[in-house]
Amino acid sequence: MTTTTAEPGTVAPVKQKNKSDVQGSGRLAAVLLSPTFLVLALVVGYPIIDALRESMYQRSNGLDANGFVVKGDKFVGLKNYTDILTGDASHAFWNAFYNTTFFTVVGVLIETILGVAMALVMHQAFRGRGFVRASILVPWAIPTAVSALLWRWVFQADGVANAMIGHQVLWTTEGFHAKVAVLIADTWKTAPFVGLLVLAGLQLIPAEVYEAAKVDGAGTWYTFRKITLPLIKPVLLVAVLFRLLDVLRFFDLPFVLIGAHKDSVETLSMLAYDEASNLRYGPAAAYATILFVYVAVVAYAFVKLLGADIIGEARSRKKTAAKRAKKGPRAAREATA
């Protein structure tokens, strides 16, 4: 077995590390990491705090006698938030909130199923496997804005999509079909991402497990459900989490493919963009903050409910690896015996 080739030499450093941890090199670690924390505080912490501050302000939009804009920001407390949630803009907000959630739930579900299917295909040994793997990854390599333009061309009135279904659907107009167009384009682009990650997971499953299942008389579906799925679960959950976070800040695809100010596909990011481009940075920051909280809640719920314990997973894997390494020599001896 390949996992148990550990020699005594690799066991010793693991032990040493554990011991030195006890001796309290934590302070040294903190010092060594502090440049990183400083950079994080600058590029992550500061913008977030500044955006929170900004979301409490409103730009005055009155004109003075000469027709010039009266300058200066005014502190308005939580007014930007209450305006968004209950004021005139609330219709647009809740519509965008619904769209964002719809794209997230439906999109990620389709992408996950297709992605897993793709990974299973890519994992098979057959002629031209390298070619299939490469071609499946092409969509992922294309920038979203470019792929949105490609799909715009496919979905135009006299485009390929209408020629194929033999019926004229005006995909980029308001209506459910606009959502469908976005979902198709998004799935085309991101299912390969899920597929790639799942493929990596599949390659870690030892062939022996499948052989044993076969010997025990398990069918294909049963094998998939009881062996493949549980073993790729950690990888799959990471892939899904990444996709969730990605779709929640969906912007470029609906914006380029369908267009701005279309109720059918308007997402929260698009609302924030629209406010910002009309120089209303306060409300824009408020939209962004609401989206931030939404993303945080979803990520937290996902991690808690499904146990997509990414950092913890890595930690415990290290532990079991260390344990296995300790047992290693004996296991190897048993295997050869």
Task: Supply the minimum distance, in Å, between the C-beta of residue 201 and other proteins.
Answer: 20
Question: Contact, 183 vs 110, CB < 8 A?
Answer: yes
Listed residue (226, 213, 20, 220) closest to 124, CA to CA: 220
Nearer to other proteins, 44 or 200 (CB): 44
Instruction: Show the tokens assigned to 274.
Output: 């629209």
| Three-state DSSP string of 6-37 | CCHHHHHHHHHHHHHHHCCCHHHHHHHHHHHH
Task: Supply the minimum distance, in Å, between the C-beta of residue 308 and other proteins.
Answer: 10
- Which residues of this protein are in contact with other proteins, per CB under 8 A? 26, 29-30, 43-44, 47-48, 50-51, 54, 59, 61-64, 66-73, 156-158, 168, 170-174, 241, 245, 248-249, 259-262, 269, 272-274, 276-279, 281, 284-285, 287-289, 291-292, 295-296, 299-300, 303-304, 309-312
Task: Supply the minimum distance, in Å, between the C-beta of residue 21 and other proteins.
Answer: 12
Task: Supply the minimum distance, in Å, between the C-beta of residue 156 and other proteins.
Answer: 7
State the amino acid at position 268 in one-letter form.
L
Nearer to other proteins, 54 or 186 (CB): 54
Question: Contact, 232 vs 198, CB < 8 A?
Answer: yes
Q: Which residues contact 102 (CB under 8 A, 6 or more apart)?
A: 179
Nearer to other proteins, 67 or 217 (CB): 67
Question: Contact, 170 vs 152, CB < 8 A?
Answer: no
**Tokens 């020599």 map to which residue?**
329
Q: Which residues contact 44 (CB under 8 A, 6 or more apart)?
A: none
Nearer to other proteins, 254 or 328 (CB): 254
Nearer to other proteins, 73 or 334 (CB): 73
Nearer to other proteins, 148 or 202 (CB): 148
User: Torsions phi, psi of 260, nearest 5?
Assistant: -75, 160
Listed residue (123, 326, 153, 134) closest to 256, CA to CA: 153
Task: Supply the minimum distance, in Å, between the C-beta of residue 118 and other proteins.
Answer: 25
Task: Supply the minimum distance, in Å, between the C-beta of residue 237 and other proteins.
Answer: 12
How far apart (Å, rounded) are the C-alpha atoms in residues 329 and 202?
A: 27
Nearer to other proteins, 175 or 329 (CB): 175
CA distances from 56 to 90, 200, 224 (A): 18, 45, 52
Task: Supply the minimum distance, in Å, between the C-beta of residue 113 and other proteins.
Answer: 23
